[in-house]
Amino acid sequence: MMVCSKFDIMRVMESLAAAAQEVELQDLLRRFAFNVICKVSLGIDRCCLDPSEPASPIARAFDAASVISAQRGAAPLFIIWKTKRWLGIGSERKLKAAVEEVHAYVMEIIHTRKKKIEEGEFVGEDLLTRLITAGHDEEVIRDMVISFIMAGRDTTSAAMTWLFWLLSCHPDAEKEVVNEIKVVKQERMLSYESLNELKMLKACLCESMRLYPPVAWDSKHAMADDLLPDSTHVRARDRVTYFPYGMGRMEALWGKNWIEFKPDRWFLELDKERGEQKNVYPYKFPIFQAGLRICIGKKMAFIQRKYLTLRYHVSQR
């Protein structure tokens, strides 16, 4: 369940709406995403949604670690950050402290959970419990859980922030989304199945992520020599970087109107009722990556984002 038991996102939003109060939406959505991913991966509720309260120390540690790690990739020479790491100074010193704090936090939860499982006091369906009962090594569990949290936290909040902004800029698209939601809600209670029927909303989500992908660029390292379709040779251990942000704005991929927010581009051209969506090749739209390494949280991401969008109208000031 995507709620916080003490101060859930719905109560926060309803309170803000009732008071006509402005809010830094991205910060609120980041808090919400952190709550959800902690609930799914660790089985705990962080309950850090109150915008009047500072972010929790562990959330700040995650922030510091992700920002400094990203700055490594932007450094003109890798020797710069490696030298700072060797000397234990500057940003690398802060990164080490943040990583140690995150590791200690997750390991404490692992030890507590293992003890409860061994004593028969805990039965859960979260990722951590499943990994422990599967018999994985503690450090492997720690790294897998942290990776899951990192992957699901900032991506969701970034995607939702851009979507709300784009819908506030395009009232016609927002109106269609609202009408679609009304039809589905009249027919049945909102459920996992009915959320999957919100095709216009999904099209808006995809179009938003095309223009403003949560991860603007990413890199992989080749495990063996290879040859790309355009005859580019790739050697083993080469770093191959791709740019979803740039790809989403290529005329060759999306046409001359690539700069426009057009959810219709995600439906079959001959389908005037928008009954069927296009199956866009994942290598054209690699927001969730593609192939064997496609994001395991793709379905969860769409459901979570639909769940939030269908509840509120957001305007910008």
Instruction: Please tell me the class of the 1-14+22-169 domain.
Output: mainly alpha
What the block records as the tokens of 310 is 């269908």
Looking at the domain that runs over 171-317, which CATH code has it been given? 1.10.630.10
The yes-or-no answer to whether 1-14+22-169 and 171-317 have a common fold is yes
Higher per-residue pLDDT: 251 or 52:
251
Which residue reads 């109106």 in tokens? Answer: 175
Is residue 177's pLDDT more than 60?
yes
Average pLDDT of the residues of the chain: 86
**Helix%, strand%, coil% for the chain, nearest 5:** 60, 5, 35
Dump the DSSP string for 73-119.
Answer: HHSS-HHHHHHHHHHT-HHHHHHHHHHHHHHHHHHHHHHHHHHHHHT
Q: Where are the domains of the chain?
A: 1-14+22-169, 171-317
pLDDT per residue over 104-149, tens digit each?
999 999 999 999 888 887 667 888 999 999 989 999 999 999 998 8
Instruction: Provide the b/e sequence for 195-211 (b: ≥16 CB within 10 Å).
Output: beebbbbbbbbbbbbbb
Compute the distance between CA of residue 276 and CA of residue 262 in angstroms, rounded to an integer. 16
Would you state the pLDDT for residue 143?
94
Compute the distance between CA of residue 152 and CA of residue 301 in angstroms, rounded to an integer. 8
Exposed / middle / buried, residue 77 (Cβ in 10 Å: 0-12, 13-18, 19+): exposed
Question: What is the identity of the amino acid at 23?
Answer: V
